[in-house]
């Protein structure tokens, strides 16, 4: 007896659920279908046969999920052919090992970033970008509401940028809180400019 082929179109998991649902109906004259120790194709054939039998008795007994699985299955003829056809085993071809020639070391070249040479803001961010605008507005000082409006960014971005200036660049931030309305809280960076040398000191 040859090895059984499984039809690719059969979804085993969905089929088993539908079979269990059909078995639970316990329709008189319709035999229950095994879901363990049975080939998927054979289960599909039995399911199609059982659904046809139930449909002859009362089509309303078949649920939408059962009908959906029934319609997704290949034709019984295809399943029957797949049951009989032996699975062809492809002979493994010996793999050729390719030996790669050693690569010559390439000269390292300095890579230039996309913004090299571009104008920088007072805190070394790209001038004209949101970060550059935030630098200027935080130095000028203003309420959260004003800074958000002028830079067209959300509150989270303003707070995140201010935190970056303090933690990463060592700048001094003063916040005048307004507990009643956080949008009216004022933010101000003390230093006019930033430089790597000044940050090391």
41-45, 97-101, 133-137: segment of lowest average pLDDT: 97-101
Residues 48-78 pLDDT 10s: 888 888 888 887 888 888 888 888 888 778 7
**pLDDT higher at 39 or 196:** 39
Q: List, for residues 172-193, the tens digit of each pLDDT value.
A: 999 999 999 999 999 999 998 8
Residue 118 within a domain = no
Chosen domain end from 84, 118, 143: 84
- Structure-derived torsion over alpha carbons of residues 49, 54, 55, 61, reported in degrees to the nearest 10: -140
**Is the predicted pLDDT of residue 88 greater than 50, yes or no?**
yes
Neighbours of 146 (CB within 10 A): 16
Q: Residue 112 falls within a domain, yes or no?
A: no
Q: What percent of the chain has pLDDT over 90?
A: 26
The least confident of 1-5, 75-79, 133-137 is: 1-5
Same domain, 16 and 80: yes
More confident residue, 159 or 77: 159
pLDDT grade for 196, boundaries at 50, 70 and 90: low
How far is the C-alpha of 172 from the C-alpha of 9, rounded, in Å?
Answer: 66
How does residue 1 score in pLDDT terms, banded at 50, 70 and 90? Answer: very low
Higher pLDDT pick, 201 / 121: 121
Q: Is the residue at 111 inside a domain?
A: no
Residue 103 lies in a domain: no
Last residue in a domain, options 24, 53, 84? 84
Contact yes or no for 151/130 (Cβ under 8 A)? yes
| Strand-by-strand arrangement of the 173-176 sheet | 142-143, 186-189, 173-176
Pair (78, 139) in one structural domain: no
CATH code, domain with 185: 1.10.10
Tell me the C-alpha distance between 128 and 156, whole Å. 20
Total domains present in the chain? 2
Residue 46 lies in a domain: yes
Three-class secondary structure of residue 198 per DSSP: helix
DSSP readout, 74-135? PPHHHHHHHHHSBPPPPPPPPPPPPPPPPPPPPPP-PPPPTTTT--B-TTSSBTTSHHHHHH
Q: H helices then E strands: how many in the chain?
A: 8, 3
Q: What was the pLDDT predicted at 116?
A: 58
**pLDDT confidence tier of residue 137, bands split at 50, 70 and 90:** very high
For 128, half-sphere exposure in the C-beta direction (CA atoms, 13 angstrom radius) is 3
- Domain boundary among the residues 59, 84, 109 is at 84
Residue 101 resides in a domain: no
Name the residue range of residue 31's domain: 12-84
**62 in any annotated domain:** yes
Furthest CA-CA distance within the chain: 92
On whether residue 142 sits in a domain, the answer given is yes
């Amino acid at each position: 007896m040859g090895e059984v082929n499984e039809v690719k179109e059969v979804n085993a998991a969905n089929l088993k659920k539908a079979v269990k649902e059909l078995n639970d109906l316990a329709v008189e004259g319709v035999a229950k279908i095994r879901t363990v120790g049975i080939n998927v194709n054979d289960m599909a054939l039995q399911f199609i046969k059982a659904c046809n039998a139930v449909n002859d008795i009362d089509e309303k007994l078949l649920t939408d999920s059962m009908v959906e699985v029934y319609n997704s299955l290949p034709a019984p003829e295809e399943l029957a052919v797949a049951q009989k056809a032996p699975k062809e085993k492809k002979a493994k071809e010996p793999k050729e090992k390719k030996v790669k020639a050693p690569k010559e070391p390439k000269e390292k070249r300095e890579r230039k970033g996309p913004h090299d040479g571009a104008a920088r803001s007072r805190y070394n961010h790209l001038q004209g970008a949101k970060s550059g605008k935030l630098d200027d507005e935080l130095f000028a000082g203003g309420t959260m509401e004003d800074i958000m409006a002028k830079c067209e960014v959300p509150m989270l971005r303003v707070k995140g940028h201010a935190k970056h200036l303090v933690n990463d660049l060592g700048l001094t931030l003063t916040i005048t809180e307004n507990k009643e309305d956080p949008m009216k809280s004022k933010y101000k960076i003390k230093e006019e400019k930033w430089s790597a040398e000044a940050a090391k000191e």
